Amino acid sequence: MFSGIVEEMGAVKSVQKGLHGTRLSILAATILEDIHIGESVSISGACLTVTDFGAQDFAVDVSPETLNITTLGTTSVGTPVNLERAMKLNERIGGHLVTGHVDGVGTIRRREQDGNAIQLTIEVPDSIARYCVKKGSITVEGISLTINDVSDNSFAVTIIPHTAKVTTMGLKQIGDSVNLETDLIGKYVERLLQSSGKTSVQSTPVINRDYLQKRGLI
């Protein structure tokens, strides 16, 4: 479990691709001060397990599933990444509860300077948009952010100067893809309501003659 408060910005040192997955070596400093094999690290929002480490870097194995649903599938040597170690129970939670299980990828559609801050509008698929609420929390590239505004297929967030300086969000431009994780609480609430019968999973209607007649269309 993470808090969405990035500890440092690292960079991809090497990418080793194999038949069953990919091994990434990540250059880092701060998180290497207290790291062990088997520990979880959030890499731009994706929870991965440390398989090896040295004085200046650490390694993780990335499964095909993670490569397919996150931006890690297109990473290359030199790509900057946000890093956070798993949080301790005796520490403050500065952001919100983050699992590191990426729900999907969004695309930056607008980037505007607003005083000393940056306003970003991120386009998202329907599977993510349903959990986005104004003033709610969302994890973008492993960063806990507050949603300022919501539309049918996008949301807006503000990147303050500190966040822009110490994370990859200051480098992101229009058209860039970002890893997204929606608020865990919203997903649990939806599941509980479905189980109690107070809501149902939306399904695509079958458009046939009977469907059209019931709605007075024919």
Cα–Cα distances (Å) from 118 to 103, 149, 162, in that order, read 24, 14, 11
CATH fold for the domain made of 8-85: Elongation Factor Tu (Ef-tu); domain 3 (2.40.30)
Q: What is the pLDDT of residue 202?
A: 56
φ and ψ at residue 66, rounded to 5 degrees: -65, -40
User: Would you state the structure tokens that stand for residue 178, as one six-digit string?
Assistant: 């970002």
Enumerate the domain spans of the chain: 8-85, 104-195
What is the C-alpha separation between 168 and 120, in angstroms, rounded? Answer: 13
pTM: 0.86
Which residue type occupies 16?
Q
Residue-wise pLDDT for 134-190, tens only, equals 999 999 999 999 999 999 999 999 999 999 999 999 999 999 999 999 998 888 888
Strand ranges (DSSP E) for 73-142? 80-85, 104-114, 117-123, 137-140
Residue-wise pLDDT for 103-136, tens only, equals 999 999 999 999 999 999 999 999 999 999 999 9
**CATH (residue range 104-195):** 2.40.30.20
207: pLDDT confidence band, cut at 50, 70 and 90?
low
Residue-wise pLDDT for 44-93, tens only, equals 999 999 999 999 999 999 999 999 999 999 999 999 999 999 998 888 88
Burial class (CB in 10 A: 0-12, 13-18, 19+), 93: middle
Q: Cβ atoms within 10 A of the Cβ of 184, count?
A: 17
**Which residue in this structure is represented by tokens 């969004």?**
106
Residues 69-90: b if buried by 16+ CB within 10 A, e if exposed: bbbbeebeeebbbbbbbebeee
What is the C-alpha separation between 108 and 68, in angstroms, rounded? Answer: 19
